[in-house]
Chains A and B, each alone.
Chain A
Amino acid sequence: MTSSELLVGVVLPYIAMTAFVVGITYRFSNWSKTPQPGKLTLYPTKGWDTSTAVREAIFFPNLYKGDRLLWVLAWSFHAALAFAFLGHVRVVTGQLDSAMLALGLSTANIATLSAAAGGAAGIVLVVAASALLCRRLLLRRAREISGGPDFLALLLLVAVIASGDLMRFGSTPIELAETRAWVISLFTFSPMVPTNPAVLLHAFCAELLILYLPLSKLMHFGGLFYTLALVRRT
């Protein structure tokens, strides 16, 4: 195990996950605890409840009304991200595979399905992220409010996506079993390191992103439930 393998395969995962959990817990609890005297109801609103929150999180209706092109980019980006996230669950656990096998799919079917869905998500992600980056650089009203954190977040995402795509489309295809063994070894505190350099590269980019996330505007994945609720409560 080289020192960089040790860093990426063992040390950073623990640091990143700890920072992530502590960071987002701190931010959410901090937001929750801050007092809000008075309401700022903004119409039109039908109030704020769970179904509204879920609809906002899934379809971005506000953005749809405000900027259709951005909605197309942002929605396809986030939808593909959710898809890719779901795919990553397979890395952690065999449960999804078992479920699919129980449904009558063969191991080969699952592999094909995963390759098709994961590959599609990977392509959509890289296209959408690049388009969002171009929009930020080319569209005046976005460019004039963009700064370091905006580009940093996008570039980190692009790095994670590109390295992920490299794993799927690159010359040394990844072995799910090996990657799963690595992740499980982390959970059981008996660390080992994957040998595929593409996996290590992808892991490194992801670790940086996870480290940065609690400090960044990417917290909007939870923040929007607070901010939208504030103007929607009647």
Chain B
Amino acid sequence: MTNEESVVNAINAIKKGPKVLKLYMDACVKCGTCASVCPIYYGKQEPEYNPARRSDLIRSIYKKHNTLAGRLFGGLVGAKDFDEATFAQWQERFYSCTACRRCAQFCPMGIDNSVITRKARTILDGLGMTPKSLQKVVSISLEKRNTDGASAEAFKAAVEFIEEEMLEEHGTPIRIPIDVVGADYFYLPPSGDVLVNLEATMGIAKVFYALGMGDKWTMSSKCFDGANYGLFTGNDVHMKAINEPVVQEAKRLGVKHLFMGECGHAFRVMQRMMEAGKWWGSLPFKVINCMEWTAEQINAGKLQFDKTQNPEPVTYHDPCNFAKSCNIIEAPRIILKASCADFRDMTPNGAHNWCCGGGGGLAAMNELKEFKMTVSGIRKRDQIKDTGATYVAAACSNCKRQLTQLMEHHETHVTVGGVHDLLSRAILIDGKAAKRTNYLQ
């Protein structure tokens, strides 16, 4: 099949559903509100960054082939047939949308441009036109079951190191159980929270220890990464293939809860898509999130903190997948307010928060560094600056990566980390907070 046939066939298929895409082909009134709330368009007012115009790349072909008006009047009604020159821009255009869904919150018609972006990426992926950087992440995931390509040995070594760090901090052994069949909770973080940002996993381990539940949870040396880049490349087959081993592992371990870490898209795929959509039928376990769980324990008064451990002004960046797609908004704030002396919210925040500029997989694309630093991340940079915070917590590896680069690029001297990272510094273990004062990051 030629590019033209593939693209046109895929777009024609929209008339059979899903309903959401079909409606989006018809319902846009071209008012421009999406552009005024889009982080990309905020960064640079160029026509190619206007969300409605980007979505028109697909809409115009749909109209040409599938609507009476389009067939009869063509360009007069916004219909335009496939052409190679325009298609050549697709990859760049649809990978300059972070799929943050902010447009959908303000669109008077409720149109979610991220759905159109993902459809376009699905088409690109079918033609082998997913950016190489993301193709690589997906194939590493499929092969090694984690996006870092780490081995079980490397994972175990990292866990051992984290345990040593905690022993040093508290003078008492705090364990991270691995491959324990029959545990209640199977902790699945983004792999970065074990291999790179160690404090997130330290925080989780300390919470379990403080609750006297140190033996009720486990990690898996086979599946220690919740990340699923099939969401970003638009390839559902890959998305499910990356997801299935985790579900199998949770079943093998016989856990009651799949306990997702600080990774927005992983949680969305697992809870909102896999669990809600019954990809693998009914499950013997429930998908929950570590932040909601910890916040519950704090609200129940089961955890104690020494806030003076975190005296600096701290703000929270709501990852789009957590806030906009999963409604996890209060929990991280409960944790941060319990752990930090000076918590400050950004404006706007929660579900209306601005994207970090690295959503939709863009954070992992080094070739887009310039774009992320000077276009998509600008609004976020200003938002963080306005709080005066010197530490920004983000419950998402992709956000953290983007924000770290963004803060460095603009020389803002703001540290970026996770939520349980700050909890780890302030939580009382046997009545005492961690002794450490100089942290790795």
Contact = CB atoms under 8 A, between A and B. Distances in A.
A26 to B, nearest CB: 10
B388 interface: no
A230 B24 CA distance: 11
Interface in A115-164: 139-142, 144-150, 152
B157 interface: no
Interface residues of A, number: 46
A40 B68 contact: no
Contacts of A38: 18, 273, 276-277
B240 interface: no
Given A35-B17, A67-B33, A228 B109 contact: yes
Given A36-B19, A42-B324, A141-B35, A62 B30 contact: no
Interface in B82-124: 101, 104-112, 115
Contacts of A62: 105-108, 110
Interface stretch (B49-57, B181-189, B369-377): B49-57
A220 interface: yes
Interface of B: 15-20, 22-24, 26-33, 35-37, 41, 45, 47, 50, 52-53, 56, 67-69, 73, 75-78, 101, 104-112, 115, 272-273, 276-277, 323-327, 329, 350-352
Contacts of B45: 140-141
Most buried by B among A35, A60, A144, A216: A144
B32 A219 contact: no
A220 B325 contact: no
A227 B106 contact: no
B71 to A, nearest CB: 11
B31 A74 contact: yes
A216 B350 CA distance: 36
Nearest to B322: A43
Contacts, number: 167
Q: 8 nearest interchain CB pairs?
A: A66-B106, A36-B19, A142-B32, A228-B110, A141-B35, A63-B108, A141-B32, A215-B69
Nearest to B52: A145
Contacts of A168: none
Contacts of B107: 62, 66
A193 B115 CA distance: 50
Interface of A: 27, 31, 34-44, 60, 62-63, 65-67, 70, 74, 139-142, 144-150, 152, 215-217, 219-220, 223-224, 226-228, 230-232
A150 B28 CA distance: 10
Given A31-B23, A63-B108, A140-B45, 20 more contacts: A34-B15, A34-B17, A34-B19, A34-B22, A36-B18, A38-B277, A42-B110, A42-B351, A44-B350, A63-B106, A67-B31, A141-B36, A145-B30, A145-B52, A148-B78, A150-B30, A227-B23, A227-B27, A230-B20, A230-B112
A95 B36 CA distance: 46
Contacts of B17: 34-37
Given A38-B273, A215-B68, A148 B108 contact: no
A230 B33 contact: no
B104 A231 contact: yes
Contacts of A219: 26-27
B76 A148 contact: yes
